[in-house]
Structures are given as structure tokens and as C-alpha cells.
Structure 1
């Protein structure tokens, strides 16, 4: 895959001066998964423009005045950007309270050959969180819906989060993940978070509802560093849109990237 396989370490990669933010097991998983993405989706998929949480990205939604129109328009735009090309994709909006209070924000399932993405109506209150939810579910379509993996794969949720990075929505996913901290079996919002306490919560036992946030902020930092190297970027402008915490892990990860990539 690698941008630098068989070459000497690029001069722009600084020599390691600090410990890598992630352990060797996580590093190996991220690197091998990125290599697998190249095989599955092509390197061109990682070279597309990076989606950023700016007013310009959402400007097209000003024409829609109801949640159904906004969500469907966003899914349509993101499907094109993320290369989703399944035969039929349907979006369903639901209320958390009507699903037994499970506090899910999204799910993916396939019903009679139709790929269904469910989105909690409450996520419409914040376009950044809505985009993160849609990105996660569309990556389920690309992995599960296109038959590349099954839910029997133990890391399929983590792989789904990682794919959001590879397909250009890592800034959204990484920033959202930093707003939350794991506490036992639950997620709780960090004090300065801009997302509701419902985001990234509650996967049901049937495997059809999913939460975001399966990667840590450190793992996102390393994954984004790998993504940057894959794109041949030494100082990517999109990194300025990362939350300072993730950006710090991103910067600290750069010296630890494999030299033979």
C-alpha cells in the first residue's frame, strides 16, 4: 500500500522524540487495516478532498426546511463522497423514546435487499454530530452491505470507525470521539462537548444499532497520521480543524509511522 514501501524514511518525517500515543498492538491493527482498505477500496478513495466541519460543507442544506429533507440530502451528498453505490439505500428517521429508550443515534441493516440507515431525529439538532452518525452508518454499508466483512468479525465496529478516516470523514469522527469518555459500560459527555449526551451511545444486542466512538482519541491521532502519510502530506491543512487534543496525538504519531510504507 504504502506510500514509502522499500524507500528510505522520508526527510519530512521527524525522528521519534516521544513515546508513540498508541501501543504496538493498536499500531499494527491500524496499519494493517489501512493496507486492507487500499486493497479493498483503492488508494484513490483516500486521496479525495477531506470533509471538514465548516459552513461551506453544509451550505447546500439551506434549501431544506424539514428534517427529512435535510437528512436525505446529507446522506445523498455523503454517499457520493464516500463511494457508496449499493442498489437501493433507504433512510429511516426514528425517535429514541419509541425504541425502548435504548439511546441509539443510528443503525444499519439490510432488509429484503434494501440497505437501511436509521437516524435518530434528535441528531438533527447538530449538523456535525449528524454528519458523524451518517458517516459511521455509510461505512457500515461499504463494509457489511457490500459484503466485505460480516458482524462475526470481532473488530467490525472499530474497523467501521477507522474507515471513516480513510474515506475522508476522519475529522468529524475524531472530534466527536474526543467529546466523550468511557466510564464502565457507559459513555458520558465531557464538560466542553458540543454534542448531546445521546451521541455515541447504546448498541443493541441484536447488532443492528450502532454507536460511534469505538476508537480512542489516541487511535484517531495515529490513524490520521497514517492517512496523512498515505496522501503524501507533510503538513495537511485539514489538521487545523482537528480538536487540539486529537491534533496533538496526530503530531506525536508522525515520527512513529512505519518507514517502509
Structure 2
């Protein structure tokens, strides 16, 4: 392969230097990931990233209840959740009239019953293992956030925060690729605006062959994956090839921006009044906060949806 045809590295001038998301989205993503480091420590982001297995079909995967339960158990293990403390409901809405769903279809849900976390999964999507894992990861991140009382569902960004946490726990390839995919145009679902979704469901609205899953946009997922790679010290992550072309380009743009705007392991977020905020990961013994996080300036309440730090 000639040098000209090779893919340029993330810091190459051939890659756009701009952040792939707007300032408010950038600030929210960086502040939220910073909060994840405080809440969950560095271990989740430093584990090997979870990648789809292309051999599942040939290995006999068809989406049976036993195979779904195995997928839930493996995802629980990756996220530090006790599978025995979790109830899994399987439901089937394939036969529902699309008009009765008001243009959207719940493919997963989470709630608490008698003090026990319950997640529901739509078995009509279970034959697509990667898509199913994206739904499972989202619902289990509800367990880590809502179930562990780190946030409440009164936060208007709690679903978006849940999507972002799937990236931090290593399931970003699944969530990102599922955010926008091709589907059957004849299934009769209309597209709902992101942010206008039911509080406890994922959206699988379809129109003109597209399917949207989740609450973050494709650029937001792309930049979140860039921040994930940046914290891991990966400027050319080998797993980028497993992302769909659109988010892969956004990931590379995000890494190019970070490489030009911040030192390794730091974020370049600017908050109100133009005050620069530098986030640095340091050894736990040097930080008074759980997880080894240090901020060079006092945290503020901006952006308004960014997670606040709990009192120590």
C-alpha cells in the first residue's frame, strides 16, 4: 500500500481539527466522563474494550432465551453487577400494530420491584447479537446509575448519561453502531426526535430504512469514543475498525481535536466566563476524591446537565 493511500494518524492535518460536537455537548460529555472517573474509578475505562463476535452465527447463536441470559450474565460481569440480584423480563411486541405505539417501540426497560432491579428486553431484536448487547448495556447502566442511587430519574439528562456510561464501561462499539443503522423500511415506525423519548425506554423508531436506538446522536457517540480512547492513551485505537464508517470518522476527528487541544489524559473543556478547566487523572493517593480525579479549578454547575459531585 502506498504512503498516500494509508489512513493518516489522528493528529494529521488531513483530519479536521474541530471538535465533532458543539461546545455545550462537548462540555457535557467531558464533565460527565470526569464524573464517571470519580464515581467508578479508572478500572472500567482501562479494561479491554468489548467487541462484537462475528462468529456467533456460525457458532449457533439464534437469540434463544438461554443465549440471551448468557449475554446478560457476561455483560453483568463486565459492569460489576451481581446477576443473581437482577430479574430479566423477555417480551415480544412484534405483532403489535405500529399505529398503537405512536411511532416508537420500546426495545428495553428498567424499573425496581420490591427492591429488586428488573430489566426488560424485546426478544424480536434478540437475533441480532450486537444490537441486543447495546440494549442490555444501556439497561444495566441504569442499574449502576439509578439502582445504586448515584442519580435520580428526575435529572432531565439521565437517559443520555446512561448511554454515555455504556461507552465508559467498554460497550461503546455496540452502542455507537446501534445509534443509527439500516432496517426494513416496511416495518412502519416513524422517527422520533432525540431527547423526546419515554423516560424508561430506548427508541427503535424507523423511517426510510433507518433505525435509531438510544439518546445520544452519532456525533456525540463519536466524540465520546474519542474521549474514551484519550483516557486510555490510545491515539490510534485498533478497535476503531469495528465502528461503522460514520462514527469511525467522528472518532478520528475527536482524537485529532484532543491531540491538538489537551495534554494526554486531560480534557480541554472551557466553562462559563472562558475559565479553562483541566481534568487530569492522577494516582488515587494524591486525590481526596474516590477514583483518583483532580480538577485544577473548583467545579461549577455548568453545563446545567453535567453531573454534580456528591459531598464526601
TM range (shorter): 0.7 to 0.9
- 2:38 is aligned to 39
Structure 1 gaps, min length 5: 1-11, 181-188
Larger radius of gyration: 2
SS in 2 for 1:229: helix
Give the superposition deviation at 1:19. 2.6
Q: Which has the higher relative contact order, 1 or 2, with Cα contacts under 8 A spaced 6 or more apart? A: 1
Equivalent position of 1:116 in the other structure: 118
Quote the Cα distance in structure 2 between the aligned partners of 1:143 and 1:245.
29
2:86 is equivalent to residue 85 of structure 1: no
Q: Structure 1: which 4+ aligned runs deviate by more than 6 Å? A: 200-204
State how far apart, in whole Å, the 1-side matches of 2:58 and 2:232 are. 27
Measured after TM superposition, the shift of residue 197 of structure 1 is 7.6
Instruction: Tell me how far apart the structure 2 counterparts of residues 98 and 213 of structure 1 sit (CA, whole Å).
Output: 21
The residue number in structure 2 matching 1:163 is 165
State which of 93, 108, 114 in structure 2 corresponds to 1:106.
108
Q: What is the DSSP-based 3-state SS (H/G/I as helix, E as strand, rest coil) of the residue aligned with 1:210?
A: strand
2:75 matches 1:75: no
More helix by share: 1
- 5+ residue gaps, structure 2: 1-9, 204-212, 267-312
Deviation, structure 1 residue 250? 0.7
Of stretches 207-216 and 235-244 in structure 1, the one that deviates more from structure 2 is 207-216
Out of 189, 192, 201, the residue aligned to residue 209 of structure 1 is 201
RMSD of the TM alignment (CA)? 3.1
How many residues of Structure 1 are paired with residues of Structure 2 in the alignment?
236
* Structure 1 stretch displaced more, 40-49 or 77-86: 77-86
- Contact 1:165-1:224 within 8 A present in 2 as well: yes
Q: What SS does the aligned partner of 2:121 have?
A: strand
**TM-aligned CA distance change 1:197 to 1:71, over 3 Å:** farther
Question: Pairwise mapping of residues 14-25 of structure 1 onto structure 2 (< 5 A)?
Answer: 17-25=16-24
